[in-house]
Amino acid sequence: MTAAIIAGLGLGVFLSVSVGPVIFAIIKYSISNGWRAGISFALGVSASDIMFVLLGNLASAFIGRLGTHTFIIGISGGILLICMGIYGLLFKKVRIATGTSALRCSGPAIMQRSGWVVSDEYP
* pLDDT at 86 exceeding the cut of 90: yes
Q: Greater confidence, 92 or 122?
A: 92
Q: Which residues contact 123 (CB under 8 A, 6 or more apart)?
A: 52
pLDDT at position 75, please? 96
pLDDT at position 85, please? 92
Tell me the pTM: 0.49
pLDDT at position 120, please? 55
* pLDDT at 64 exceeding the cut of 70: yes
* pLDDT at 114 exceeding the cut of 70: no
pLDDT at position 79, please? 97
Tens digit of each residue's pLDDT (9 = 90 or more) over 4-40: 888 888 877 777 666 677 778 888 888 888 888 888 8
